[in-house]
Structure 1
């Protein structure tokens, strides 16, 4: 089956290649993603994040899920030396850089718990792949019609950060200015929680972010810097045969 819905401000697609589809599995995935958006979006006035920003909730009074998300945000802030921060002056708390990957990963876990084994869940190019192998292209950062690499994923996740889709939206929180030094940075990791947060934090770090991301446990990296130089780790999962499913 293939299904696409607009959730969290972007198209989310789900492809399931299992012969038998558990009843309600796809519905449960999209219901959870809508719930996560309603609860954690800083752009929805009734969300838990918005209520926390307005002082209607204390840090000790948030839900277990939001507490976990905030712990992840703090983990990546510290690990990146402050380059990644979901609390920027004058902007309030915005955990979207962590929430998307975390919520998508939980959605993938719902599929696995329902018995789905071969699936591809794609949120605007950030992907969780169940089973496999799945072929995933990395978009050329300066030409939307070209790929600069193709990956082969089995039970893994991939996320890419860059300025080419949404403009200079990733800031280096140490300076408050748009991150510089990279055109794009892709991370492959066991979960999309790790891949998405690592890619965003590494991009915020700029040129030094490539080595930083490569040093994170179980992470492989593909990056293009502003000098158009390609940097990649030796364990990047590149295809060895022409077989596999396109994603």
Structure 2
């Protein structure tokens, strides 16, 4: 069960930290010089609600005014991306594409074209487990109102939910929907991309220690002043607890789970926001019964950038434990921590303890 898995995580932490990031050391003279040069430096924090989630920034800087300006620049970038990529804002580029691409070929900005190009690459790599056209049916769900698409609507629109309907020309940066009812949503990749953009802003400004997160997507610059960043993976059935705490340095991590946006239906089934494109319905996660061992309720992917860890966390969730971990083990530079429906925790090969 999860308690025994947690004991395993605690035993593995030292091995994980050493394997991924090496040991941290510094001589006394270096410490004295560092203290002399950073006597006025301190951590700066900010949180704001953007892109339908909580965006947080933490950075080390010696100048409070410059730190404040950098943080505002990061938040402004998140707001810009929300204005362009939100399916809920009528004037966003994504909304324009959804209105027009079913009737005619539309031109895309370089940024949206790059996002769609990456999304389609992951669609191919995962056999369609990652598919931004899930919005075709996803738009008929309202988790606050406990509303979902009925059987007739699901059957009618299932053919429209298929990434092969996205007729994308990367050279011309154009897109046409091969089915008039197809719609797209970048919810499985946009936040990871936004976190990367924020990190780029901070790096260009010379920041060496920082963390930016947007919901389940985080990325770090460097370490936390001589120690790794400790990133908690939330217990999927108890939000007051962590299922694991992972030490990370200069990397990204994305978590997808069935506990962020969901409701329990009249049959006591969990209806959540991660769709299985093959069925047009939320991915089945089960509730700890026989035959549920391959189903996942939480997936965390560690890798170089959020532009990849974000879609990979969704992909592994849909694929299930066996196929999902096999995918990660094939991709160099990525690791996974997953929790199945029996609340047991598993690692990709690179994070497993040696025999």
Work out whether 1:5 is the aligned partner of 2:48: yes
Instruction: Give the 3 Å change call, closer, same or farther, for CA 237–9 of structure 1 in structure 2.
Output: farther
Q: How does 1:52-71 map to 2 (within 5 A)?
A: 52-55=97-100, 61-71=107-117
Q: Tell me the distance in 2 between the aligned counterparts of 1:99 and 1:199.
A: 13
Query: Over aligned residues, Cα RMSD in angstroms?
Result: 2.0
Q: Tell me the distance in 2 between the aligned counterparts of 1:158 and 1:62.
A: 29
In structure 1, what is the equivalent of residue 282 of structure 2?
178
Moved over 4 A (4+): 56-60
In structure 1, what is the equivalent of residue 175 of structure 2?
none
Residue 97 of structure 1, aligned match among 182, 188, 212: 188
Alpha-carbon contact 1:152-1:237 (below 8 Å) kept:
no
In proportion to residue count, which structure has more strand?
A: 1
Moved more, 97-106 or 202-211: 202-211
Work out whether 1:199 is the aligned partner of 2:313: yes
In structure 2, what is the equivalent of residue 157 of structure 1?
252
Work out whether 1:35 is the aligned partner of 2:83: no
Residue 304 of structure 2, aligned match among 165, 168, 190: 190
Q: Tell me the distance in 1 between the aligned counterparts of 2:281 and 2:194.
A: 28
Q: How far is the alpha carbon of 1:177 from its aligned partner?
A: 2.0
Q: Tell me the distance in 2 between the aligned counterparts of 1:34 and 1:66.
A: 15
Deviations 1:82-113 (A, max 9, x none): 11111134551111211110111111111101
Task: Tell me the number of residue pairs that the alignment of Structure 1 and Structure 2 aligns.
Answer: 238
Q: How far is the alpha carbon of 1:67 from its aligned partner?
A: 0.3
Residue 113 of structure 1, aligned match among 170, 191, 204: 204
Alpha-carbon contact 1:87-1:93 (below 8 Å) kept:
yes
Q: Tell me the distance in 1 between the aligned counterparts of 2:129 and 2:105.
A: 23
Q: Tell me the distance in 1 between the aligned counterparts of 2:222 and 2:307.
A: 18
TM-score (normalised: structure 1): 0.90
Q: How does 1:229-244 map to 2 (within 5 A)?
A: 229-236=344-351
Alpha-carbon contact 1:18-1:119 (below 8 Å) kept:
no
Work out whether 1:87 is the aligned partner of 2:127: no
Q: Tell me the distance in 2 between the aligned counterparts of 1:59 and 1:212.
A: 34
Deviations 1:121-177 (A, max 9, x none): 111242111111211111111111221211111110111111112121001101212
Alpha-carbon contact 1:73-1:86 (below 8 Å) kept:
yes
Q: How far is the alpha carbon of 1:5 from its aligned partner?
A: 0.9
Alpha-carbon contact 2:130-2:311 (below 8 Å) kept:
no
In structure 2, what is the equivalent of residue 134 of structure 1?
229
Q: Tell me the distance in 2 between the aligned counterparts of 1:107 and 1:153.
A: 18
Alpha-carbon contact 1:125-1:159 (below 8 Å) kept:
yes
Q: Tell me the distance in 1 between the aligned counterparts of 2:261 and 2:96.
A: 26
Instruction: Give the 3 Å change call, closer, same or farther, for CA 163–116 of structure 1 in structure 2.
Output: same
TM-score (normalised: structure 2): 0.64
Moved more, 88-97 or 149-158: 88-97
Structure 2 gap ranges (5+): 1-43, 140-182, 263-271, 285-294
Alpha-carbon contact 1:183-1:224 (below 8 Å) kept:
yes
Which is higher, the Rg of structure 1 or of structure 2? Answer: 2
Q: Tell me the distance in 2 between the aligned counterparts of 1:237 and 1:19.
A: 39
In structure 1, what is the equivalent of residue 331 of structure 2?
216
In structure 2, what is the equivalent of residue 241 of structure 1?
none
Q: Tell me the distance in 2 between the aligned counterparts of 1:201 and 1:58.
A: 30
